Amino acid sequence: MSLPDAPPSLYAARQPVFPRRVKGAFRSLKWGIMAVTLGIYYLTPWIRWDRGPSLPDQAVLIDLSGRRFYFFWIEIWPHEFYFIAGLLIMAGLGLFLFTSALGRVWCGYACPQTVWTDLFILTERWVEGDRNARVRLYEAPWSLRKARLRLTKWVIWLLIGLATGGAWVFYFADAPTLLHDLISGQAALIAYTTMALLTMTTFFFGGIAREQVCIYACPWPRIQAAMMDEDTLTIGYRDWRGEPRGKARIEGHGDCVDCMACVNVCPMGIDIRDGQQMACITCGLCIDACDDVMEKTGKPRGLVDYFALKDEPIERAGGKPLPVWRHVLRPRTLLYTALWSMVGFGLVFALFIRSDIDLTVAPVRNPTFITLADGTIRNVYDIRLRNKRQTDQTFHLGVTSHDPFALQIQGADGDSVIVPADAVLEVRVYLSAGPDQRAALEDRTAVRIWVEDVESDNRAYQDTSFTGTGKDTNGGDHD
Amino acid sequence: MKKPIDREREVTTTGHVWDGIEELNNPLPRWWVWTLYATIIWGIGYAIAYPAWPLLTGATPGLLGFSTRAEVAADIAAVEASNAGMMTALAAVDLTTIDSSPELHGFAVNAGAAIFRANCSQCHGAGAAGGKGYPNLLDNDWLWGGAITDIAYTVTNGVRNEQSPDTRYSQMPAFGEILTPEEIQALVNHVLAISGQEHDAALATTGAALFAENCAVCHGEKAEGNREFGSPTLTDAIWLYGGDAKTLTQTVTLARFGVMPAWSQDYRGASGLNPAEINAVATYVHQLGGGE
């Protein structure tokens, strides 16, 4: 074992990244996606949707205290949370699909961290200038001008953060009312706290932490490797074309003129010519930068490009790469597509067979049955009746079984009860079997409890059981 | 000295070599280390500000004086303050008309359920189904009356309770000192007969006469029971101690003397229930399915 004189540091300071402005197809695509995603995020709470007088007219609303989720014409109740679970499963499978086909396309184009960082870099460029100006400003000692520029930038960042946090809370309450309350200082404390927290996280993640979040904090880059194979399209450098890099005029050099354009535009601060690496989010900006240089030097585009690892040996040997569809269409992506579609069709199907009326039955198990004075056996059930319509409805309860039962709703006349509009009513229901009935003497009898909306004819049922004394189990006489 | 380099990976090494194996150095980000230091400083501050270090009898109190017990006490006090109006109304309510105010009735049922679980479930069971010697409160058979005011009276004064002069009171004689075992057998067979169970018809006929002579004064001529004395109906399907010949013989020979606390009274340092709580628990029991 040998010890060096001065061991190298085990900790590295962050190298600040100053991405240069770039123009090109991928940059335009990213601007478009940014406009659409941010537009959806900021504007959705302001879309109105008429649901009648008793319900909110906000198209997308998560009403936590009322326990409802409104999405345009769909209203989801807490017991229908499987729709949300289904959407999350679809989101997961969708990520699998896109990652196995197109690599880290989510990271590069649509991830909120990428989109907001892009927006923050854009404002930074507006205030402080392009890459060289920003590097100079970074290295310059503190001056009035530097302070002014930094302050301007931070204030704009904070305003973006405030709008971001503000938009978030609008999803949880009526947006115009909440905006009025927020400005007049009447909104709930939790609204202000949430906004403050999201303002600060947006400012910090988009303005300060940026690529550090992707490299050190996000688990997704580590998982993605498991979904990629040699057919996955990723961004790479055709080193067999580019190397040895250097001045174009000198004989024997490859196409790469070592202009560092690909490095200078990279928001992650990496050199794509080092090969595939974990820090690469495949945003495509290096492709735009390199294509620009290749056009100027009169060389073919695509020195830095999307390609699949499978093509590399073919291209090195001078062959033509496979067409893109041969890479994208393969069992793995087809399987992900099939699974994704199955869940999607399942959810749509579930949405269409939903009923306006619903019940859950919880038999009271302590005690399992009650003996009345005349020997009648009574079972008690706690039943939740859901009326999803916008008017009060009379619900009629019934029971089917091989034995007749008397059904009585506690506190109601007989077997009908009025359930208020858009509400759940909990009722206690008694089923009784006479002393000599089979159900009274057997251990268990299967029963089906029905609920019917008298007006609309909608019906729903749930199966449960009736517990008797068990005196007649196994042909009777056993006790 | 220049840092040693692992050429293939272009990564520096720590300089440590064991048998030719070098330790690579992929440095941690510096802010990460700062975060660690920040959590340590936070931890120290937290341990000073909040209860932290265990001592023999408790823990260091912390500068902020925070206590989970005090928080719970404050939460309970806040709930009690917010319930105060309802409790006042509940204490003064006429129980026979409590149904007409759904809000107060709902409050009473919920409050009564909590009081029942804490005070009554030990004998009557968490589901109020009772047990041997402890009445089932879910059925439609009541010893002392199943109207809501009857229930409230029983809860207030108890059964055969020494603390309350107004307690529900009666005492069944131990017929083992009065009748012969043969007579008791006859009596038991009569009770089996009138409750529709298997019996010896000859003994039952003898028992009928004995019943009229000894039992009818309390249980009624037709054994229909009498709520004035809390004497049970002997013809129905419900038995407090058991309706079989063996249990009935025991009951007649030795008698029964079931008791219940008077919940309006404190007992051995344990506080009883206030009028609002008694009304709440009476409302709860009354709506369990057997109330009259």
Give the three-state DSSP class for B180. coil
Using the beta-carbon criterion (under 8 Å), do B16 and A1 form an inter-chain contact?
A: yes
Query: Is residue A250 within 8 angstroms of chain B, CB to CB?
Result: no
Using the beta-carbon criterion (under 8 Å), do A370 and B289 form an inter-chain contact?
A: yes
pLDDT tens digits, one per residue of B133-154: 999 999 999 999 999 999 999 9
Question: How high is the pLDDT of residue A253?
Answer: 83
Number of H helices and E strands in chain A, helices first, is 17, 15
d(CA A430, CA A433): 10
Same domain flag for A187 and A294: no
Same domain flag for A132 and A262: no
CB contacts under 8 A, A 22-61 vs B, are none
CB A438 within 8 A of CB A445: yes
Strand-pair category, B28-29 with A11-12: parallel
Same domain flag for A367 and A457: yes
d(CA B273, CA B281): 10
List, as one string, the DSSP characters of A450-464: EEEETTT--EEEEEE
Query: Is residue B122 within 8 angstroms of chain A, CB to CB?
Result: no
Q: Does the residue A185 lie in any domain? A: yes
- Residue that the structure tokens 């345009």 belong to: A72
Using the beta-carbon criterion (under 8 Å), do B30 and A410 form an inter-chain contact?
A: no
Using the beta-carbon criterion (under 8 Å), do A212 and B31 form an inter-chain contact?
A: yes
Determine the angle formed by the axes of helices B181-194 and B201-214, rounding to 10 degrees: 100
Q: Which of A188, A213, A238 corresponds to the end of one domain?
A: A213
- Residue A411 maps to which CATH number? 2.60.40.10
d(CA B273, CA B260): 14
Question: How high is the pLDDT of residue A4?
Answer: 52
pLDDT tens digits, one per residue of B16-74: 889 988 888 888 889 989 999 999 999 999 999 999 999 998 888 889 989 899 999 99
Using the beta-carbon criterion (under 8 Å), do B25 and A374 form an inter-chain contact?
A: no
Query: Is residue B254 within 8 angstroms of chain A, CB to CB?
Result: no
The ranges of chain A with pLDDT < 50 are: 1, 475-479
Give the three-state DSSP class for B110. helix
- Mutate which of A2, A5, A11 to disrupt the B interface (most B C-beta within 10 Å)? A11
Q: Which of B25, B29, B140 sits opposite A212 (nearest CB)?
A: B29
Same fold across B69-167+260-286 and B175-254: yes
Nearest chain A CA: its distance from B29 CA (Å): 5
Q: Which of A298, A332, A366 corresponds to the end of one domain?
A: A332
pLDDT tens digits, one per residue of A31-43: 999 999 999 999 9
What is the number of domains present in chain A?
A: 3
* Ranges of each domain in chain B: 5-59, 69-167+260-286, 175-254
- Mutate which of A14, A17, A371, A382 to disrupt the B interface (most B C-beta within 10 Å)? A371
Same domain flag for A49 and A198: yes
Using the beta-carbon criterion (under 8 Å), do B129 and A370 form an inter-chain contact?
A: yes
Average pLDDT, integer, range B87-103: 93
Query: Is residue A15 within 8 angstroms of chain B, CB to CB?
Result: no
Q: Is the ipTM of this complex over 0.85?
A: no
Which residues in chain B are closer than 8 Å to A5, comparing Cβ atoms?
1
Same domain flag for A204 and A234: no
Q: Does the residue A459 lie in any domain? A: yes
E strand or H helix that includes residue A430: strand A423-433
Q: Could you confirm whether domain B175-254 is CATH 1.10.760.10?
A: yes
Using the beta-carbon criterion (under 8 Å), do B237 and A373 form an inter-chain contact?
A: yes
Query: Is residue A10 within 8 angstroms of chain B, CB to CB?
Result: yes
Same domain flag for A179 and A242: no
CA distance to B49, B61, B70, B242, per residue, from B54 (Å): 14, 10, 18, 55
Same domain flag for A179 and A77: yes
Q: Taking CA atoms, what residue in B is nearest to A376?
A: B237
Q: Does the residue A18 lie in any domain? A: no
Q: Does the residue A200 lie in any domain? A: yes
- Mutate which of A277, A372, A426, A429 to disrupt the B interface (most B C-beta within 10 Å)? A372
Same domain flag for A240 and A271: yes
d(CA B77, CA A357): 41
Query: Is residue B242 within 8 angstroms of chain A, CB to CB?
Result: no
Using the beta-carbon criterion (under 8 Å), do A373 and B238 form an inter-chain contact?
A: yes
Query: Is residue A7 within 8 angstroms of chain B, CB to CB?
Result: yes
Nearest chain A CA: its distance from B269 CA (Å): 32
Q: Which residues is A419 bridged to in the sheet?
A: A393
Q: Which of A3, A10, A380 sits opposite B289 (nearest CB)?
A: A380
Question: How high is the pLDDT of residue A455?
Answer: 85
Question: How high is the pLDDT of residue A470?
Answer: 87
CB A429 within 8 A of CB A383: yes
Q: Does the residue A463 lie in any domain? A: yes
Using the beta-carbon criterion (under 8 Å), do B28 and A12 form an inter-chain contact?
A: yes
Question: How high is the pLDDT of residue A174?
Answer: 92
Determine the angle formed by the axes of helices A131-139 and A112-128, rounding to 10 degrees: 80
pLDDT tens digits, one per residue of B140-198: 999 999 999 999 999 999 999 999 999 999 999 999 999 999 999 999 999 999 999 99
CB A317 within 8 A of CB A240: no
Same domain flag for A321 and A365: no
List, as one string, the DSSP characters of A328-349: HSSHHHHHHHHHHHHHHHHHHH
Using the beta-carbon criterion (under 8 Å), do A12 and B30 form an inter-chain contact?
A: yes
Query: Is residue A141 within 8 angstroms of chain B, CB to CB?
Result: no
Please give the CATH topology (third level) of the domain spanning B69-167+260-286: Cytochrome Bc1 Complex; Chain D, domain 2 (1.10.760)
Q: Which of A332, A348, A383 corresponds to the end of one domain?
A: A332
Using the beta-carbon criterion (under 8 Å), do B27 and A212 form an inter-chain contact?
A: no
Q: Does the residue A207 lie in any domain? A: yes
- Mutate which of B140, B198, B224, B284 to disrupt the A interface (most A C-beta within 10 Å)? B140
Which residues in chain B are closer than 8 Å to A366, comparing Cβ atoms?
125-127, 129
Please, which contacts does A306-313 make with residues 24 or more away whose CB atoms are closer than 8 Å? A306/A233, A306/A234, A306/A235, A306/A236, A307/A233, A307/A234, A307/A236, A307/A238, A308/A230, A308/A231, A308/A232, A308/A233, A308/A234, A309/A230, A309/A231, A309/A232, A309/A234, A309/A236, A310/A230, A310/A231, A312/A236
Query: Is residue B27 within 8 angstroms of chain A, CB to CB?
Result: yes
Query: Is residue B132 within 8 angstroms of chain A, CB to CB?
Result: no
d(CA B216, CA A431): 35
Domain extent at residue A443: 357-474
A-to-B residue pairs, Cβ atoms closer than 8 angstroms: 89
CB contacts under 8 A, B 34-63 vs A, are none
Which residues in chain A are closer than 8 Å to B125, comparing Cβ atoms?
366-367
Same domain flag for A140 and A230: no
Nearest chain A CA: its distance from B33 CA (Å): 8
Confidence of residue B279 (pLDDT cuts 50, 70, 90): very high
Q: Does the residue A297 lie in any domain? A: yes
d(CA B283, CA B42): 53
Q: Does the residue A349 lie in any domain? A: no
pLDDT tens digits, one per residue of A97-147: 999 999 999 999 999 999 999 999 999 999 999 999 999 999 999 999 999
Q: Taking CA atoms, what residue in A is nearest to B142?
A: A373
d(CA A330, CA A100): 10
Same domain flag for A297 and A150: no
Which residues in chain A are closer than 8 Å to B22, comparing Cβ atoms?
none
Using the beta-carbon criterion (under 8 Å), do B16 and A371 form an inter-chain contact?
A: no
Question: How high is the pLDDT of residue A478?
Answer: 39
Q: Taking CA atoms, what residue in A is nearest to B19?
A: A1
Same domain flag for A116 and A53: yes
Query: Is residue A9 within 8 angstroms of chain B, CB to CB?
Result: yes
CA distance to A30, B52, B118, B199, per residue, from B254 (Å): 93, 61, 32, 21
Using the beta-carbon criterion (under 8 Å), do A410 and B289 form an inter-chain contact?
A: yes
Question: How high is the pLDDT of residue B84?
Answer: 95
- Tokens for B70? 């005090």
Query: Is residue A189 within 8 angstroms of chain B, CB to CB?
Result: no
Statement: residue B3 has pLDDT above 60? no
Query: Is residue A425 within 8 angstroms of chain B, CB to CB?
Result: no
d(CA A221, CA A43): 30
pLDDT tens digits, one per residue of A158-185: 999 999 988 999 999 999 999 999 999 9
